[in-house]
Structures are given as C-alpha cells and as structure tokens.
Chain A
C-alpha cells in the first residue's frame, strides 16, 4: 500500500519532521518498506497557456506559442510577445488551453527511475521548427496511462509560470507500507484510518471528517443473501443518468490515484477507486440496464450466493473462469454477474453508453475471498482490502459519497440495504493496573484514557476501572490484551524500560549435551558435520531400496526432489558423497544427526508421528583399493568407546531387516548391538546402490539410533591405573577375527586386547591375525 504524505497531511496535522514521522510510524503502526522521495520529480515543469496553435499541414504536429509567465530558462528564447515556441504532437492541443510544460533541462518524470532518465532539451523538428521542451501527456508525467493527448488544466486553478508540482501538491514523499503487518487492521487500508492512527501516535485527538451520509432505504430493488456468513452487508444504490460528466481537466484526484499506485480511467471508476483509497471500502458499478437484461427481470433482483459446481463467468478482463463452490457470486436473478469482491463480470460492465448504474457497496467473508484470491490469482486493490475483513458500518455512507461525486451526471433513484445482523460494539472492562502490569509501565489513568480517545475509542472511567468501547471500524477488539496493545503501541513500546526478570536457574538438556559431545568427537576424528533436507525424491528412496509407501508424502512439494519425508539419514549422505567426489574432495567422512519419520514407526500419544533420532555417517575416498568397511567401523567403534558404551559387531545372517539397513550390503556389513539391543548398522553399500549414486568403490558408512545410544551412554570414563605390560601375539587361523579373539581372551584373562593387522600369504588359506595385549 502506498500513502502520500501530502494527502495524509490533509487529515492530520503533523508537527514533526518527515524523518521523525516515518520513524514513529515504523515504531508504532506499521513497517514502512520504503520512503519514495518525489520532492524533485516534477522540477522544472510549469503551467503554461497555449496562446497560438497552428497545425502544420500533412503532419500530426502543431506549432505552439506558449505563455510561460515569468519563467526564464537558460537558452530558451522568448519571441517579441514573450512567448516560447514548442511543437506538440497531441491532437487535443488548442489555443487558450492551460497545459503542463516540461522545460528544457527537466527530466521526464516517467523516466525518473530508469538507469538513464530522459532529459528533455531543445530540438529542431521537421528540419526547421525549433521546439523548446514539451507539452506533457499524463503518461509522461507518470500520472496516468493516457498518451492520447496532453493534459489540460482548469484555467481558474493556475496561472502561467506556476510550478506544476505546487499546483498539484506533487512535491511529496510516498510511504510504501508492508501490508502483511496490518493483516488484522482493515480500517488502516483507507487513508482516513491510517491518518487516525498517525494522530494517535502523535498524541493528538483525531477529528474525523464525515465521509458520506446514510440515506433512507426504500428497498425498491430486492437484495437477497442466500447463505449465512458470506456477506455481512450489501448496500446498493441505483443512479439514474441525467446529464454528461465531462472529463476535461486534469485534477488533483488523478494525482492521488497515481501516487497510490492506481491509474485514472474514467469518472465513475475513478470515483469508486478514490473512495476506496480514502475509506478502505471498495465499490463496484454495474450497468443497470444490462443487469436486468441478464437476469430477465423488469426490476433488479440482486442475489448474493455461493457458486455452484462448474458454474462459469466471463470477467471484465475477458477471461472465462470456472467457479469453485466457495467463490461468492453476485447474481442478477440467479445469473452470475460478478465474482464478489474479486472482479466484475463482462455482461454487466459499464461503458460509454451506460445510462444507469447499480452501485454496490458491500462486505464479504474474508475466508471465502481468500480462497477465491488464491484459486483465481486475483490480487487487486479491492480484494486486498476485502481479505482483511472490511467492517460493514460505512457501506451506505461511502456509496452515498460516490453518488455525490457523480452528481453532475447521475442522481440516486433507489436505495437498498441488506444488513441482517449489525455487529455490536465491543466493550472491554479493564483497569489501569492491568495495563501497566502487563506492559511494565507506570502510565497514569489520564494518559491512558486520552490515548484511547485520540483514536476514537469511548472510555467510561470509574476510579481505576475503565470501560472501553471500540469504535465501529475496530472489529478486532475483544479482550483486555487488545486494549493493552493499543495503549502500549500508541505510546510507543520503545518507551518501555527493558528490565530483566529475576534470576533463574536452568536444567541441563542431556540429549543436547550428548549431541555437542558427539560433535566434538567427530570433529576430532576429522569428520564433517553436514545438514541435508528432510525431504527426498521418490527416486532416491528407490535407489536405496526403501519403500516410498512407508514415507509421509508432501502433497504441495516444491519439486519431485522434495516429495517424501526421508526414512533414514544415510541415503541423503550418499547424495552428498557424490556431490563432494565430483568437486573433487579426495577423502572425507560426512555425518548428520537428525530426526527421521516413517509410517511404520507409528504415532505417539499426541497422535503425531513417532520421531526417530538418527546418526548417519559415510566415509568415501576417490582413490583407495582397501576395504572401506573397516574405516567406517573404526569411526563408529571409537565413537562408542568415547561415550563409554560397549557394543558388539555381528555378521548379518541373511537379509537386512531394518529400514535404515536397506542401502547396506549384508555380506560386507555388521549389525551393532548393545547387549541384546540392536542399535544400528555399519557397512559398505550394495553394488547397485554405489552404481546408482555413481560413487567411487571406496565407500562405507553407518547409521545408529541416537535414543538407544543416549540410554546407554555414560559420562564416567573408566580410568585404569597401574603398570602395564604390552606384548603382541600373532595367531595363524582360518577362523574369523571374533572367534580368534575369544580364544585369545580365554588365554589372557583380564587383559586389554586391541587388534593388529591381518596378513594372508598368497595362495594360503589361513591368515595371521595379530593382537596387541596389555596386561
């Protein structure tokens, strides 16, 4: 939303500098995304009078002599009559008209934000006519889209030589407001509501100008609201045409529309748009005669209802939409003529032949409109306001104000108003103590009452008890905290002294400590912690042999790459292994500790999926023909050792059973147990997996359950004292390492035995296994 400071100043006196005002608005009302400085946008543009206009035959050009008043521009010569020569290509240029002259040396406003703004100069046209500057059209001034003709200014409002910017108050600052932070404040989406807040934060009483009047309802046309809660209020005026509205002169209202980011179109649309910007209440005009024709009725019968499945409507922009069942429709005797709040229909649109108008001023359910907005991708100024939940109190008044603006051509002939349940004004009882107690302030009662009254709350005071009644546009005030927020905000949160609460003591979180410890250990081991997405592709699950049906599937995923919630950590790491081998990184151990979810893990007592806290690691080298398994095993074994957990590595009897074991090759992997409890797997990956991920042969990894680890880990490191005797023992055997170790242990009771190398001579069946023995 764009707010013109000059316009704002018409509704509230601002005794502070612009910088301070912007700071206060930012601190107490809404985030100002940008302040657009237009204070020099219209420099060297002047009001002039066209004294002579002479058509040049066989061209579109007119040779003009203009009166520029006292203005002297360097190098611009005036003739004997004191007039300046300028060529003009617009068909509407004529003698005696007042126009806007962009003097030589001035920047054409429409180009001001371009990389190379266009500076107008002195030109020679058709090889012989000198032209000084230009007479401007609305689009060149960045005040409209019109390029058909130059703008014409009402003679009574300005004199030649006056600065264009002064006459139309164009030396301005425009505030670009972040709409999101006013989601709950529909009233501030009109300038008056915004101005009220500005008065409030400046500590001033807001004096509200009355926009429009309530008319007496004759209900001579019928309005029916079919469903409850889709339309809180629907007001309709019939305007009968009695004369022409001549849009001749460029007006101040045109500049307001332009500065607010809209464009002047025609008198009726401009009036509705202007009033929307001023009050926040959108309006819509139907062609009366088309409306009754479409509905095949002799009098308008307006029915507001939800769309039926498959119903279609051609909109103003010629697009045919298929409506959804939550779209609200305006119908003429049940025939759709507009998508309520979003866009009018083509069949009833006003045009230059329109005789009579039905002027709609209504409010609609923001919930429905929000869905309509999303489903049909309509982001107009009107629907932006409706989806904040415009209050219903002013529909009639704004419609009447619009009729008043159009009175030159139209007069009100019928007034109808469907307002089934007018909302009650909310009253909140609160004490000054409660306010100060939540904010941490010492505001006195008078200040609090004044602050609320400034923005038109009514306050009944009884001792320290306040009875606060919200104004009719504040549909967001229900509870004490709402009032406390108003007081805190309007007086400035920055005026509240930050104070620390009493000293507290925290409990440790042992799982977090375990994670920190693992991070220390793994970094020491030369491993790298990575983070990878929780979402993976169906393809990735397939590559490692995990069933995608066991994964929670994201229905609105960004891409197929991120469609499933991952079932274990290692597959994501295999993806990153490829990435790093490609870089290339020669050798690495990457690991991640994170939560995984799978359908087979079931639901918790809270009926949310059980989470599994998992640690996965992959070691990989681009060139190494040794057995990667033992590297991965070393990593996991030493980790357990550092955490004082004793584990056993057991060969996998047949097929891998656990979900996280799927990528692993059973013949080159071990299951890890703490006593009888399975905790995870360490191993190399299946050849097919390595092929799918395009990995170098030297790759292995592990995945373990961190919750089981946590259950068994102990902080106390066993320290053995005393003298130690070390010896090496080599056994020749064809049994496995574990079986051989058992024998050695039997022979050396109580000794600490660590593994040495394994040697097998070529052609020999038996191996020599070396053990380091410490007694």
Chain B
C-alpha cells in the first residue's frame, strides 16, 4: 500500500521534471526526453506490479477444510448429461483396445524428446534433407517436440527386447501427441495425435504386416475390407509402404473409393541394430497413422481445428 503511494509520488515528480524540457536548449532535448521517458516506463511497470499485488492483498480467507461455504448450499456436480470425453481420447482408447485384443502391448509417447530418438535412432543420416521433411519444432537446447510417434521406436525395442529372449515377439502400439511446424487451417494442425505400432520376431513378413493392418481396420470398421498399397519412403523402414483401405460402408464408401490410412514398412536393420537387436536373426515391421483423421471421417467433420479449441459447444456433443 505504502509502496504504491510512494511510486505514485515519484511518478508525479518525474512528470514535473519532464515538463522542464522546454527550458533546455533544443539540441539537448532529445537526449533528456529519452532518459526521462525510460525512467517513467520503469516506474509505470513497477506501479502495474504493485497494483496487481494489491488486488491479491484484499482477499477474504475461507475455511478450506470445510465442504461448503457459510450459509451456502452444499456444492453439486454438474448434470451427467453435460459431461463429455474428448473425441480424440475416446478414439485412442478404442484403437488401443482393438490392438490389445489382437495381442499388442501399449506404451505412451513422450511430448518432448531429443534428436537421437526423433532421428538418429531411426536411421536418418546426419543432416539428411529427410529430416527437414518433418518440420520439427526445436527448443533452445535442441530438444524436439516429436514430429512422429516413431520417436518411441528405439525405446519400445529396448523395453520389450526381453520378450525376444523369451522366444516371444515384440508387439506394441504407442499412441501419443506429436507436433509439426505447420500453419493451422481446416486440414492442418501443428499439434495432433498418432498411433505407432511395432512388431518384431524371427520370422515376421511384409505379408504379416498387411495382415495385422487389414485385421485392425476390419475390426475398427466392423466389416471385411480390401487393402491397397503405394510405395513410400521412410528412412526407418525398408521396404516402405503407404497403406490404403477401401472406403468403408459406414463412411458412405462406394466401389473404387480408397482412403490413405497410414505409412508402414519393414523395420530397417539399422534401427534394430541400434536397439541391440540382431537384424540377421530378427526382423520387424512398424506403422504409424493419425488419429484425427479417423475422427474426422467418423463424424464427417470438416475442420481439424475443433479438437484443440476447448469449445464446449463442440465438445459437449461427445458425451
């Protein structure tokens, strides 16, 4: 309180001092004005801080051990009809549940990672232009908010390597939040969700990969589906493939309609090697696809920006 008064007094003084500028010779006015203005700005920001602090001083304490305010009703929850789960989270739960029924373990992805996991461990050559393709954000320290859930592949391989030693395959899916330095519009978000999948065993094949993915989409859309592929390029898989599925009936699909669903491929031997798995004994496959797309298709939504908007008029539709 006192401090604020003092500061205000000082401000008055400075204002008076500033008025003296007209008594100075012209050539000295600019320098004088600059100095006095700087002082004034410093003072003003101090006053703002003090005023803010003052707001927080005049606070009535309450009994935080009680369950209701004095002379107030007991608080109630809002009605269940108003409650909702985020559609992306529900979708991840649903996707993960299907993979779990198919025998896949689940682990979650990090949201701040490093160059090693994001690129090096995935067989991206140092400084390779392919790294630019991911439009990554970076922190001052060189950390990376990951641009794909593949950032977890190395960790997943190390974590579940014991299974190979027991003669079981590694089978894991990894949902998570990822980031790309992209301008936001109806079809692009800088923040979105992916689900990674990995399978490693002594004898798995590209045919197995297609089998697993077709099975997943058939369970997800609850119908038999045709699948199709396109060659792709990812440094961490070889061969690399883009998977398309026939557009399901539930989405109004007609014959000849295809949906690009995800990128996949046989895990590059260097990726296995770096995680301490002998690529001459084991091979694997991996895939990664977006979650938003599944939800947009499911509800025929046209704008990806709803998801992170926090807008309850949208979110309360999902209860």
Who on chain B is nearest to A388 by CB? B129
Who on chain B is nearest to A607 by CB? B114
The stretch among A273-281, A282-290, A555-563 that forms the contact with chain B is: A555-563
A493 touches B229 (CB 8 A): yes
B138 touches A556 (CB 8 A): yes
B100 touches A506 (CB 8 A): yes
Interface residues on A, range: 35 or more
From B65, B105, B231, B307, contact of A738 by CB (8 A):
B65
From B55, B90, B102, contact of A686 by CB (8 A):
B55
Within 8 A of A (CB), among B181-216: 181-184, 190-191, 199, 201, 203-208, 210-215
A683 touches B66 (CB 8 A): no
A737 touches B63 (CB 8 A): yes
Decide yes or no whether B288 CB sits under 8 A from chain A: no
B138 touches A526 (CB 8 A): no
- Distance in angstroms from B178 CB to nearest chain A CB is 10
From B129, B177, B266, B311, contact of A481 by CB (8 A):
B266
A528 touches B67 (CB 8 A): no
Decide yes or no whether B69 CB sits under 8 A from chain A: yes
B102 touches A525 (CB 8 A): no
Query: Which residues of A are found within 8 Å of B75, using beta-carbon distances?
Result: 626, 630-631, 633-634
The stretch among A71-79, A128-136, A150-158, A662-670 that forms the contact with chain B is: A662-670
From B78, B132, B312, contact of A370 by CB (8 A):
B132
B103 touches A503 (CB 8 A): yes
Query: Which residues of A are found within 8 Å of B140, using beta-carbon distances?
Result: 552-553, 555
From B65, B143, B207, contact of A497 by CB (8 A):
B207
B77 touches A687 (CB 8 A): no
- Distance in angstroms from B244 CB to nearest chain A CB is 9
- Distance in angstroms from B198 CB to nearest chain A CB is 13
A526 touches B83 (CB 8 A): yes
Binary interface encoding of chain B residues 116-160 relative to chain A, with 1 for a CB under 8 A from any of its CBs, else 0 = 010000000001111011000111110101000000000000000
Secondary structure of the A side of the interface? Answer: mixed
A760 touches B70 (CB 8 A): yes
Who on chain A is nearest to B201 by CB? A501
B72 touches A499 (CB 8 A): no
Query: Which residues of A are found within 8 Å of B79, using beta-carbon distances?
Result: 526
Query: Which residues of B are found within 8 Å of A443, using beta-carbon distances?
Result: none
Query: Which residues of A are found within 8 Å of B65, using beta-carbon distances?
Result: 649-651, 670, 736-739, 741
From B70, B85, B241, contact of A759 by CB (8 A):
B70
The stretch among B9-17, B18-26, B232-240 that forms the contact with chain A is: B232-240
Query: Which residues of A are found within 8 Å of B283, using beta-carbon distances?
Result: 438
Decide yes or no whether A488 CB sits under 8 A from chain B: yes
Query: Which residues of A are found within 8 Å of B3, using beta-carbon distances?
Result: none
Give CA–CA (A180, B132) in the complex, Å. Answer: 11
Give CA–CA (A556, B77) in the complex, Å. Answer: 42
A494 touches B133 (CB 8 A): no
A758 touches B78 (CB 8 A): no
Decide yes or no whether A168 CB sits under 8 A from chain B: no
From A437, A511, A555, A626, contact of B72 by CB (8 A):
A626
Residue of B77, B108, B211 most packed against chain A (CB within 10 A) = B77
B59 touches A523 (CB 8 A): no
Residue of A489, A511, A527, A528 most packed against chain B (CB within 10 A) = A528
Give CA–CA (A689, B78) in the complex, Å. Answer: 25
Query: Which residues of A are found within 8 Å of B181, using beta-carbon distances?
Result: 556, 558
From A387, A583, A669, A687, contact of B311 by CB (8 A):
A583
Query: Which residues of B are found within 8 Å of A687, using beta-carbon distances?
Result: 55-56, 58-59
Query: Which residues of A are found within 8 Å of B39, using beta-carbon distances?
Result: none
If A494-B229, A736-B63 touch, does A501 touch B111 (CB 8 Å cutoff)? no
From B90, B102, B137, B266, contact of A556 by CB (8 A):
B137
Query: Which residues of B are found within 8 Å of A688, using beta-carbon distances?
Result: 52-53, 55-56
A506 touches B78 (CB 8 A): no
From B80, B205, B227, B309, contact of A526 by CB (8 A):
B80
B139 touches A555 (CB 8 A): yes
Decide yes or no whether B250 CB sits under 8 A from chain A: no
Who on chain A is nearest to B151 by CB? A608
- Distance in angstroms from B104 CB to nearest chain A CB is 5
Who on chain A is nearest to B136 by CB? A556
Decide yes or no whether B169 CB sits under 8 A from chain A: yes
- Distance in angstroms from B231 CB to nearest chain A CB is 5
Residue of B67, B79, B143, B229 most packed against chain A (CB within 10 A) = B67
Decide yes or no whether B286 CB sits under 8 A from chain A: no
Query: Which residues of B are found within 8 Å of A565, using beta-carbon distances?
Result: 112, 139, 145
If A512-B106, A611-B112, A691-B55 touch, does A481 touch B269 (CB 8 Å cutoff)? yes
B208 touches A479 (CB 8 A): no
If A528-B316, A668-B61 touch, does A523 touch B239 (CB 8 Å cutoff)? no
Query: Which residues of A are found within 8 Å of B211, using beta-carbon distances?
Result: 498-501
If A512-B108, A741-B65 touch, does A367 touch B129 (CB 8 Å cutoff)? yes
Binary interface encoding of chain B residues 267-284 relative to chain A, with 1 for a CB under 8 A from any of its CBs, else 0 = 011000000000000010
A757 touches B313 (CB 8 A): no
A767 touches B233 (CB 8 A): no
Query: Which residues of B are found within 8 Å of A611, using beta-carbon distances?
Result: 110-112
If A523-B83, A609-B143 touch, does A649 touch B64 (CB 8 Å cutoff)? yes
- Distance in angstroms from B310 CB to nearest chain A CB is 3
The stretch among A50-58, A91-99, A234-242, A588-596 that forms the contact with chain B is: A588-596
Binary interface encoding of chain A residues 499-536 relative to chain B, with 1 for a CB under 8 A from any of its CBs, else 0 = 11111111111011001100100111111111111110
- A–B complex contacts, Cβ < 8 Å, 7 sampled: A30-B230, A501-B208, A522-B85, A529-B86, A630-B74, A634-B77, A741-B65
**CB within 8 Å of A: which residues of B?**
52-53, 55-56, 58-86, 88-90, 93, 96, 99-108, 110-114, 117, 127-130, 132-133, 137-141, 143, 145, 168-169, 171, 177, 179, 181-184, 190-191, 199, 201, 203-208, 210-215, 227-233, 238-242, 266, 268-269, 283, 307-313, 315-316, 319
Nearest 10 A/B pairs, CB to CB: A440-B207, A504-B103, A440-B205, A526-B78, A738-B65, A576-B310, A737-B66, A627-B69, A485-B239, A755-B67
